[in-house]
Structure 1
Amino acid sequence: MSSETVVQNPNPKNISRSIIGLIVVVAIVLLGFQSYTIVEAGHRGIVLQLGAVQPQVLEEGLHFRIPFIQKVIPVEIRVQKAESSQVSASRDLQTVTTTLAVNYHLDGVAVNNLYRTVGMEYKARVVDPAISEALKGITAQYTAEDLIAKRSEVSAKVKDALASKLGLYNMVLDEINITEFKFSEEFDRAIEQKQIAEQQALKSKLDLERIKIEKEQEITRAQAQAEALRLQKQEVTAELIKLREIEAQLKAIEKWNGALPNVTGGATPFINVK
């Protein structure tokens, strides 16, 4: 008696239930991941609900969102740097190439407004044009030489003008640094020649002052000598002359060796005692 193996075909209903169950599990997992978002440090989250920018701005950390309905756009609010080299004209129509470094950051509270009005291309649309406009407007107020001599004043004015322009778009200016003013070769040569002329003029002035001082010193010495002679003449009297003669004779006696000359000259002659 032979035994037969019975092969049972899979039940289509069971297969369908398994597939559906797998789909449900996958959907639940996806929904779980889509229900949360993480805003990294130094960023803020802009919430879009069906494409519309929402008023709330997400801080750093973990946040819940409605899957497939809400989308979170991360925006960096750390300090950012923009470098720019602008060609402008000074008040005396000299061509000036200015290299400027700008540090700025986005206002974390109002990044949603920036996104709504400008978008994520804010550097190209706002920052770079604002730097150019502020710099050209200020450099036009100064001559080329004043731009060099009053660099700190120029920098302060550019900072104020740029801060006002960026503030209109919810951006905060931290600091600016004018790293270089570059002029034409002709102007550089003119400045160099002027400095040489000023140095030569200063040297000539110092030489004249030195000569004047030396002359005044000579006059002072001559006046002092003349005054001394005048005082000496006033002090010469008959008694002083007699005193000087006596002093001379005393010095001669001190030097006498005991031998008497036959004839002597002077106010008091010696007598020959032979």
Structure 2
Amino acid sequence: MSLNALSSNQTVTNKLKFGSSIVFAIIAISIVFSSVYTVEEGHVGIVKRFGEAKYQENPGLHFKLPFIDSVEPIEVRTRKNAEKMASSTKEQMPVTIAVSVNWTVDKNAALDLFRKYGGLVQFEQRILDPRFRSATKDTIPRYEAEQLIQDRALAIQGIEQRLIEEMESFPVVVDNIQIENIELPAKYIQSIEIKQTEKNLAAAEEHKLERQRLEALREVNTADAKAQGIIKVAEAEAKAIVLKGQAEATAIEAKAKALHNNPLIVSLTEAQNWDGKLPSTIMGEGSLPILDMRKN
């Protein structure tokens, strides 16, 4: 064999070795990447082997058998299902109601749910949604239209209680129910508006009458207060007059007793009050009056 032939064979061999190395490297990398997986927060990973659900894993980095195991994520955060359906009220009035339910998968029972129902979508379609619609349609006819408008909480509580009972045997938790919207016939809405307007007018009139009653009562109280004030003033004046009269009578009585006990006080009083002039008489000036000199 010539030298050129040997060199050619060596080149071919080297190329085959290099190609094999690349193939083995690709296979090794594929095996590594196929054996590693992650589970996102808010989910659990259902590990399937040849299509059979084996176990579940929590969020994080995990390993599995390459090319044999596969992973199906199941969300365990709160999910929301909304429905818009036709129903009727207690008075047989047609109504279209939009409702929603928030629910959560039991994290520890996610594997069981997957084994029985094949995943969340299948569970919603087969189990949750039909029972949610049934609970809503069974509850709404218990209430009159006006009740539904004024107090949705009653209907929400009824739907929630019914659905919780229906879902008790399933690995989920019903968090809460919401009535998003209630659509009633236009004529009924108009009648409700008219009725409410009449109530508002009646309430306004009642308020007006009450205000007038209070104003009249205030005027009466004011007049009564004034009258009481006048009476009090009159009573005070009368009492003052009585007291003044009693004081004057007491003074007169005291003076009379003093005069009786001492007659000279009269003469003293006259002397004190005399202005030094003789009294005038019909006899003319310069005439002396006749004095009675008789003794008592």
For Structure 1 versus Structure 2, the TM-score category normalised by the shorter chain is 0.5 to 0.7
In structure 2, the CA distance between the partners of 1:216 and 1:19, relative to structure 1 (3 Å rule), is: closer
1:242-261 equivalence runs, <5 A: none
Where structure 1 has 5 or more consecutive residues not aligned to the other structure, the ranges are 229-242, 244-274
Distance 2:37 2:113 in 1: 21
TM-score computed with the length of structure 2 as normaliser:
0.62
How far did residue 48 of structure 1 move? 1.1
The one-character-per-residue Cα deviations of 1:104-157 (angstroms, maximum 9, x if unpaired) are 222211112222222232334444333322221111111111212331122122
Partner of 2:41: 41
Written as runs of structure 1 = structure 2, the 5 A alignment for 1:15-30 is 19-30=19-30
Note the alpha carbon deviations across 1:33-89, whole angstroms, 9 max, x for none: 2222211122100111221122x3201112221223321111222222333322211
Aligned to 2:115: 116
Q: CA, structure 1 residues 116+209, in 2 after alignment: closer, same or farther (shift >3 Å)?
A: same
State the distance in 1 between where 2:41 and 2:213 align.
73
Residue 16 of structure 1, CA deviation:
5.5
Q: How does 1:101-250 map to 2 (within 5 A)?
A: 101-120=100-119, 121=121, 122-202=123-203
Q: How far, CA to CA, are the matches of 1:79 and 1:217 in structure 2?
A: 61
Q: Deviations over 1:167-217 (max 9, x none)?
A: 544222223322322211011112122223334444565667678888999
Tell me the residue number matched to 1:236.
none
Greater CA drift, 203-212 or 42-51: 203-212
Count of residue pairs the alignment pairs up = 233
- Hey, what's the Cα distance between the residues in 2 that align with 1:202 and 1:32? 79
The 2-side partners of 1:119 and 1:24 are apart by: 37
Which residue identity lines up with residue 79 of structure 1 in the other structure?
T
Match of 1:257 in 2: none
Closer/same/farther in 2, CA of residues 5 and 211 from structure 1, 3 Å limit: closer
* Counterpart-to-counterpart distance in 1, 2:30 and 2:214: 95
Distance 2:152 2:22 in 1: 71
Counterpart code for 2:199: E
SS at match of 1:105: strand
Normalization by structure 1: what TM-score?
A: 0.66
* Alpha-carbon distance in structure 1 between the residues aligned to 2:23 and 2:220: 115
- Report the equivalent of 2:292: none
Name the CA distance, whole Å, in 1 between partners of 2:100 and 2:86. Answer: 15
* Cα distance in 1 between the residues matched to 2:101 and 2:67: 39
Counterpart amino acid of residue 77 in structure 2: R
The corresponding residue for 1:93 is: 92
> One-letter code of the match for 1:36?
V
Correspondences of 1:254-273 after superposition (within 5 Å): none
Letter in 1 for 2:164: A
2:58 matched residue in structure 1: 59
* CA RMSD after TM alignment: 4.0
Matches of 1:36 and 1:85 in 2, distance apart?
Answer: 43
| Structure number with bigger Rg | 2
> 2:75 is matched by which residue type in structure 1?
E
Identity rate, percent: 27
Letter in 1 for 2:150: A
